[in-house]
């Protein structure tokens, strides 16, 4: 089969690899029909995730068709269309029993990280019964690719951890795919205002189309001053940090009001300055987290009911064998106006 293979920082290749095989009785082999590229894949290509070894197939999102199942798999059979969770869960360990699947003792985020991932013609899925989801007949499979990772990430780590509630003023710092996913799902809870902050005018314009009430270009004006102006000097009830750099973390610290929630979603690779001397008195709550994907079933129902339209995030389509070009496009997202890319394997 062909796969997108990591060969060290800045070095990737679309090359032949052996087809995956069943290794454990609880495995399934899935033929990928649609997959995508994540910002985390770009972090890997930059060398930010040293656990990824030379020769690993990247990718942790996608939909496909069951090709083969191990004898211990009871929920799926050959030919079933499935959604692949970015998180592998055994369903039995202490963390899984708390729905903290991201810290599964025999799984977690391993696809495209510690084992071969989904940017390939075929992928092996460990713990298939608890790491795959049946796709309803007639469902929009491209929309469901967005449910592998970014929608549950924005929802669980941003909106739910941030405890967004009716009437809240919410600021989402970062209007990339994860920030936009938080924007879409925050609206489940009817906040009064959602302020989007980014450097990219195109993404800010998309934010308005998706429901943002205000936008702030932090490259053209002081974001903290502007948000304080928009909130009559009070600050925001919820600040979602969706980038992962010190500057965006600082904005969230500076705009949160007393009793507010700061939800850190961004992947931080360097230390930040935590302004405890200012925040200790403000009764704030700060959360971090890796997505657990426990909301996938609910999100699938919401998409099926037409209440959530994640296909809005898709801006580009490529064939799987065009994945090298797709990486170039996604890596140059601002110029290419790229959000999420669909890679199709015929």
pLDDT tens figures, 265-278: 998 888 999 999 99
Question: Is the separation of the CB atoms in 174 and 248 below 8 Å?
Answer: yes
> What are residue 219's phi and psi, to 5 degrees?
-90, -15
Question: Is the separation of the CB atoms in 195 and 227 below 8 Å?
Answer: yes
pLDDT value at residue 48: 85
What is the chain's mean pLDDT, rounded?
97
pLDDT value at residue 269: 81
DSSP 96: H
3-state helix, strand, coil in the chain (%, to 5): 30, 25, 45
pLDDT value at residue 177: 95
CA–CA separation, 264 and 289 (whole Å) = 7
Helix (H, G, I), strand (E, B) or coil at 35: strand
Which stretches of the chain drop beneath a pLDDT of 70? none
> What are residue 9's phi and psi, to 5 degrees?
-50, 130
Rg (the chain; Cα; Å): 20
pLDDT value at residue 240: 98
N- to C-terminal Cα separation, the chain: 13
pLDDT value at residue 346: 85
Element (H, E) at 324: helix 323-331
pLDDT value at residue 279: 96
pLDDT value at residue 310: 95
Cβ-count burial 209-247 (b if 16+ within 10 Å, e if not)? ebebebbbbbeeeebbebbbebbeeebbbbbbbbbbbee
pLDDT value at residue 180: 98
Question: Is the separation of the CB atoms in 156 and 182 below 8 Å?
Answer: no
């Amino acid at each position: 089969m062909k796969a997108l293979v990591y060969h060290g920082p800045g070095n990737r290749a679309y090359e032949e690899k052996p087809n995956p095989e069943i290794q454990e009785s609880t495995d399934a082999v899935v033929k990928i029909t649609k997959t995508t590229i994540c910002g985390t894949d770009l972090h890997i290509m930059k060398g930010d995730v040293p656990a990824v070894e030379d020769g690993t197939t990247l990718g942790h999102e996608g939909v496909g068709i069951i090709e083969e199942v191990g004898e211990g798999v009871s929920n799926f059979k050959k030919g079933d269309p499935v959604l692949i969770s970015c998180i592998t869960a055994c369903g039995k360990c202490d963390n899984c029993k708390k729905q903290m699947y991201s810290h599964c003792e025999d799984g977690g985020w391993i696809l495209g990280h510690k084992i071969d991932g989904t940017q390939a013609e075929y992928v092996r899925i460990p713990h298939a019964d608890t790491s795959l989801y049946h796709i309803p007949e007639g469902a929009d499979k491209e929309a469901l690719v967005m449910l592998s990772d970014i929608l549950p990430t924005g929802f669980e780590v941003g909106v739910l951890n941030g405890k967004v509630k009716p009437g809240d003023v919410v600021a989402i710092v970062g209007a990339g795919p994860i920030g936009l996913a938080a924007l879409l799902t925050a609206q489940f809870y009817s906040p009064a205002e959602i302020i989007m902050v980014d450097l990219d005018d195109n993404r800010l314009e998309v934010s308005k189309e998706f429901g943002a009430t205000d936008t702030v270009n932090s490259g053209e004006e002081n974001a903290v001053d502007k948000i304080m102006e928009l909130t009559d000097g009070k600050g925001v009830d919820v600040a979602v940090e969706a980038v992962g750099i010190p500057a965006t973390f600082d904005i969230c610290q500076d705009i949160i009001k007393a009793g507010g929630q700061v939800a850190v979603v961004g992947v931080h690779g360097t230390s930040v300055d935590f302004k405890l001397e200012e925040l200790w008195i403000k009764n704030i709550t700060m959360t971090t987290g890796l997505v657990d994907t426990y909301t996938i079933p609910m999100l699938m129902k919401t998409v099926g009911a037409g209440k959530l339209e994640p296909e809005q995030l898709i801006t580009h389509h490529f064939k799987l064998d065009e994945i090298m070009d797709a990486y170039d496009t996604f890596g140059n997202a601002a110029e290419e106006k790229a959000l999420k890319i669909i890679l199709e394997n015929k």
